[in-house]
Structure formats: structure tokens, C-alpha cells
Amino acid sequence: MAAQGELATWVREAVASVRVTDMHTHLFPPSFSALQVSGADNVLTYHYLIAEAMRVGQMPPTEFWDLPTPLQADWIWEQLFEKTTPLSEAALGVVQIAQAFAVDLRREKLAGLRAKLEATATDVYANHVLDLAGVDSVVMTNDPFDEIERRYWEQGTPRNPRFHAALRLDVLLNDWPRAQAQLSHSGYHVGPELGEVDMAEVRRFLKDWVAKIKPVYFAFSAPDTFAFPEDSVRGRLLAEAILPICREQRLPLALMIGVRRQVNPSLRSAGDSTAKASMLPIEALARRYPDNKFLVTFLSREDQHELAVTARKFGNIMPFGCWWFLNTETLVSEISNLRLELIGPTFVIQHSDARVLEHVIYKWRRARKVATDVLTHKYQQLQDAGWDLTREDVERDVKQLFSQNFWDFVKR
């Protein structure tokens, strides 16, 4: 039996050294150069920080968007690091990124960060940043309807093997007129009616993209009003094209539910919000399609308990991460505790959602800190109940939560 101090050390060391799989990000490898995002100005103009800076500075959004990126970064710096103290999760994150690069942000300011971070990443730099974060590999968000991205895949652009693909189907499921036009343009014979023949063409399109990018899962985000089954384009595409191809290819479908896009369109990328969604569609999907696998995350705090309960009922549901507005110290701690209490260590503890390469540094540092606290507390209770915990148990659980559960589910 470990002494209290020894137990805390086991957990701290296991969590600090675990090689993470970051199973949902918006990162691209350096070879996708037009899409790859890194460097100080991009760190500062993260949409999380734009929303926060607007509260301080009250600049009309149109004026902000007209500024070139370095001036936007300067303005955000002034609002969040000079006029106020960087106490928010995202602002503190910038300070932690700076610290990882040995920049004393208070003294050296934004210029110090600009000098150390690389705005055009090489593979050496990308590997260095991932190593700083202890991230073994990341999963991208790959949109087959994005013109620029499509070109990289069609040219067979080689990529750093630490970047895995995920086929993102938001346009297909949330904007059918645009998807239909693009599919037709790319040689898939899809009419607006979506009859049997059209559906077969959608399936052909999905299979072609599986062959092209070899995704580890399909994904889409949906609003709080998401319903299933539903006699709608989305409902039919899911039932008749996406789920059958996922089954055939043994790929999970990741559902990210509860985002209210553009509640304030003037904020553009910073203008999305959240609302409580229903668990019924997830229940229906898991029950009707036992041979499909569902990675599931919800954006509202209010949905977290129901999600954990639903995961108890269906082994083909894998809850993952604390998404976006939930990725705060308070909520990650609450949600991770809740999940451990209801489903044990059988979920994916976190994903970073990094949009800028260097984000992985602060997002994983935070995730590790919270996981260490939560797990130490749980293991202590277990030991107090007389369970003879070993260091190997701790290492196995940590590896499962930060990486293995995801891969086992993908490969199941």
C-alpha cells in the first residue's frame, strides 16, 4: 500500500510522462502550409481571446476585422495583458505558452513571444512543440468541402505522421445546398431531391474520401436542436449514407452537440455559443445501430450527467473531452470526476481543440494538472477502502484515459 505522498508522486509522474493522443484539434501539418497556423500573432488572435478582448476594449468589431493580424494581436495584448490581468483560462494560456519558451511575458511582452514562436512552422518546430506538450499525435479536422484543403489531399501532399486525419462532415449535414453543389461539381451525380441514386453517390463520395485521407473517424458538430431519427436531409444522410459507411469501414462517428453558431455574427469566429441539447438522439443512435461506434461530446455543462448515464447503457458510446467553453479548470475537474464516478476510467479524458500549434502546450498542461488532482483523490479513496493499488495500475489507467481508450475504440 502506497503512503499518501508516494501515491501522489505515482499519479503526478504517470500523468506528467504519459504520451497523449490529442483526438480532436484543428491543427495541420507544416506541409499543408496555407492551413498550418502557429506563432505569436496567431496565439494572440485566438477566437477565445477576441471575444474576451472585445469586452474590455469595446472596439467596433468591423474596425477590428479590418486590422491586419499583427495589429489585431497588438490590440488584444493591450486589452488582456495591459489594461487587465490575464486571469481567464485562455489568457493564462498565453502566459503558460510563453513560460514554456522561456519568455518572461510581463517583461518581454508580445515582442518576446514573437521572437521565440515560429509563425511558419517546419516539421522540426512542430515536433518540438508537440514534444513540449507531451503529445504523441494529434487528430486534425479535415473538411472535404474546403477548396484549399482539398487540393493538398488531391495532390497527395506528404505529411508528418504525427497528424492523423478525421473526415469532418459539417457541410454535408448542416448545409446541404452547398454540399450538393460541390458534390455535383466534383463529379458525383447528386440532385437536390436526395433519392436512392443520389444517396449511393454520397456513399461513393464518402468511400473515396476514406481511401484518400484514411481518417480515424468521421465527425460533425450539430446545434442544440439536433434530432434523430428525423425526416430531414440530415436524418436521411446519417441513416442511409454516413452510418452504413462507418459500419463498413469500422470507423466511429464523432458527434459534437450543442453549438449555437453565430449568435453574434459580428464577432465571426468568436460569435458561437452553447445551449443544452437533448440526449434522446444519442440514445436512439446507440440503440438502433449497435454495430456503429459513437464518440460523443456535448458543449453544455447541463448535458454532462445525462451523457455519462447514457454511456453506462451503451458500450458503443465513448464520451470524449471537455469541449470549448467547458475546457476550464472548474468544469474539467467536475466533469472528469462525474465520469469517473459513473463509468470508471472508460472515457477519453480530454482533447485540446487547439487551433494554433502552440495551444497544445497550455491545453495539455492544464488537462494534466486537473487529472492529477482528480485521480489522486479517487485513488486515495480506493486505498482508504483497503484496495492495494500499485504503480502499474496508475500507469495503466492514465495511459487509457489519455490515449489507449481512444485507439481501442477506433480499432474495435
Q: Which residues bind ligand FIX (CB under 6 A)?
A: 26, 141, 221, 256, 324, 353, 355
Q: Which residue is nearest to Zn ion (CB)?
A: 353
Phi, psi of 362 (to 5 degrees): -80, -35
**CA-to-CA distance for 384 and 379, rounded, in angstroms?**
8
Spatial CB neighbours of 60, under 8 Å, sequence gap ≥ 6 = none
Q: Is the CB of 265 or the CB of 344 nearer to ligand FIX? A: 265
Q: In the set 143, 353, 358, 373, which binds Zn ion (CB under 5 A)?
A: 353
Query: What is the per-residue binding string for Zn ion in 41-80, x denoting contact by CB under 5 A?
Result: ----------------------------------------
11 versus 97: smaller Cβ distance to ligand FIX: 97
**Residues 132-154: b if buried by 16+ CB within 10 A, e if exposed:** bbbbebbbbbbbbbbeebbebbe
Angle, vertex CA 209, rays to CA 173 and CA 216, nearest 5:
85
- Least separation in angstroms between residue 24's CB and ligand FIX is 7
State in angstroms the smallest separation of the CB of 398 from ligand FIX. 24
Residue 21 binds what, of ligand FIX, Zn ion, none (CB under 5 to 8 Å, by partner type)? none
Distance of alpha carbon 389 from alpha carbon 382, whole angstroms:
8
String marking each residue 172-211 x if it binds Zn ion according to CB under 5 A: ----------------------------------------
Query: Under 8 Å CB-to-CB from 5, ≥6 apart: which residues?
Result: none
CB under 5 to 8 A by kind: which of Zn ion, ligand FIX, none does 221 bind? ligand FIX
Report yes or no: 320 and 23 within 8 Å, Cβ to Cβ: yes
Nearer to ligand FIX, 28 or 324 (CB): 324
Closest approach, Cβ 207 to Zn ion, in A, equals 25
One-letter amino acid at 311 equals A
Nearer to ligand FIX (CB atom), residue 339 or residue 351? 351
- Give CA 342 to chain center in angstroms: 23
C-alpha–C-alpha distance, residues 219 and 142, integer Å: 9
**Count of alpha carbons within 13 Å of 39, Cβ hemisphere only?**
16
Please give the torsion angle defined by the CA atoms of residues 126, 127, 128 and 132, in that order, rounded to the nearest 10 degrees: 100
Interface with Zn ion by CB under 5 A: which range of 231-239, 242-250, 259-267, 346-354?
A: 346-354
**CB-wise, 41 or 353, nearer to Zn ion?**
353
- Give, as ranges, the residues between 107 and 126 that touch Zn ion (CB under 5 A): none
Query: Which single residue brings its beta carbon nearest to ligand FIX?
Result: 353
Helix axes 391-399, 359-384, angle to 10 degrees: 140
How many chain residues touch Zn ion (CB under 5 A)?
1
CB 245 to ligand FIX: min, Å: 21
Q: Give whichever of 357 and 375 is closer to Zn ion, judged by the CB atom.
A: 357
- From the list Zn ion, ligand FIX, none, pick the one residue 355 interacts with, judged by a Cβ distance below 5 to 8 Å according to partner type: ligand FIX
The answer to whether residue 272 forms part of the interface with Zn ion (CB under 5 A) is: no
Which residue number, 26 or 150, has a Cβ lying nearer to ligand FIX?
A: 26
Q: Which of 204, 142, 202 is nearest to 173 (CA)?
A: 202
Q: How far is CA 47 from CA 39, 69, 138, 141, 330, in A?
A: 15, 12, 20, 17, 21
Length of the chain: 412
State the nearest-atom distance from the C-beta of 291 to ligand FIX, in Å: 26
210 or 256, CB closer to ligand FIX?
Answer: 256
**Which residues sit at the interface with Zn ion, rule CB under 5 A?**
353
